[in-house]
Amino acid sequence: MMKSMNSCDYGHDTPEETRRLPIGGDAGVIVCQEHYHAEISSRKQAAVERGEPDYRGYPSWESLEVYEPAKG
Ligand SMILES: [Zn+2]
Protein backbone atom coordinates (compact mmCIF):
# COMPACT_ATOMS: atom_id res chain seq x y z
CA MET A 1 0.00 0.00 0.00
CA MET A 2 1.22 3.49 -0.85
CA LYS A 3 1.19 5.87 2.04
CA SER A 4 -0.38 9.12 0.92
CA MET A 5 2.01 12.02 0.63
CA ASN A 6 1.42 15.59 1.68
CA SER A 7 2.86 18.55 -0.20
CA CYS A 8 4.84 21.12 1.72
CA ASP A 9 4.94 24.62 0.24
CA TYR A 10 8.70 24.59 0.67
CA GLY A 11 8.77 22.39 -2.38
CA HIS A 12 8.75 18.76 -1.34
CA ASP A 13 6.40 15.92 -0.56
CA THR A 14 6.35 14.31 2.85
CA PRO A 15 4.57 11.44 4.56
CA GLU A 16 4.53 13.64 7.67
CA GLU A 17 1.58 15.75 8.71
CA THR A 18 1.34 19.21 7.16
CA ARG A 19 -0.44 22.17 8.69
CA ARG A 20 -1.73 25.49 7.47
CA LEU A 21 0.21 28.50 8.75
CA PRO A 22 -1.68 31.78 8.22
CA ILE A 23 0.48 34.52 6.71
CA GLY A 24 -2.03 37.34 6.88
CA GLY A 25 -5.55 37.87 5.63
CA ASP A 26 -6.93 34.73 4.05
CA ALA A 27 -3.50 33.62 2.88
CA GLY A 28 -1.57 30.76 4.32
CA VAL A 29 1.22 28.33 3.58
CA ILE A 30 1.06 24.57 3.95
CA VAL A 31 4.15 23.41 5.77
CA CYS A 32 5.63 20.33 7.39
CA GLN A 33 6.84 20.73 10.97
CA GLU A 34 10.44 21.26 9.91
CA HIS A 35 9.50 24.07 7.57
CA TYR A 36 7.09 25.53 10.09
CA HIS A 37 10.16 26.17 12.21
CA ALA A 38 12.03 27.56 9.20
CA GLU A 39 9.15 29.93 8.48
CA ILE A 40 8.90 31.11 12.08
CA SER A 41 12.66 31.65 12.19
CA SER A 42 12.53 33.82 9.10
CA ARG A 43 9.61 35.80 10.54
CA LYS A 44 11.52 36.37 13.75
CA GLN A 45 14.56 37.46 11.76
CA ALA A 46 12.43 39.85 9.71
CA ALA A 47 10.89 41.26 12.91
CA VAL A 48 14.32 41.85 14.41
CA GLU A 49 15.40 43.62 11.22
CA ARG A 50 12.32 45.85 11.48
CA GLY A 51 13.22 46.61 15.07
CA GLU A 52 10.33 44.55 16.49
CA PRO A 53 12.07 41.72 18.30
CA ASP A 54 9.13 41.34 20.67
CA TYR A 55 6.58 40.82 17.93
CA ARG A 56 4.22 38.05 19.05
CA GLY A 57 2.61 36.86 15.87
CA TYR A 58 3.82 33.28 16.06
CA PRO A 59 1.17 30.60 16.41
CA SER A 60 2.43 27.34 17.92
CA TRP A 61 2.62 24.25 15.73
CA GLU A 62 0.05 22.61 18.00
CA SER A 63 -2.42 25.45 17.41
CA LEU A 64 -2.32 25.18 13.63
CA GLU A 65 -5.07 23.61 11.60
CA VAL A 66 -4.07 20.23 10.15
CA TYR A 67 -4.17 20.46 6.39
CA GLU A 68 -6.15 17.69 4.72
CA PRO A 69 -5.31 17.40 1.05
CA ALA A 70 -8.29 16.96 -1.22
CA LYS A 71 -8.96 13.29 -1.76
CA GLY A 72 -8.90 12.43 -5.42
ZN1 LIG B 1 8.64 20.99 4.40
Would you say residue 1 has pLDDT above 70? Answer: no
Of residues 43 and 70, which shows the higher confidence score? 43
C-alpha 22 – ligand 1 centre gap (Å): 15
Residues 6+ apart with CB under 8 A from 5: 13, 14, 15
Radius of gyration, CA atoms only, the chain: 14
Q: How far is the CA of 30 from the centre of ligand 1 (A)?
A: 8
Q: Each residue of 43-68: pLDDT tens digit?
A: 889 888 999 877 666 889 999 999 98
Distance (angstroms) between ligand 1 centre and the Cα of 6 equals 9
Task: Please determine, for residue 36, whether its predicted confidence score (pLDDT) is greater than 80.
Answer: yes
How would you classify residue 25: left for phi > 0, otherwise alpha for psi between -120 and 50, otherwise beta? left
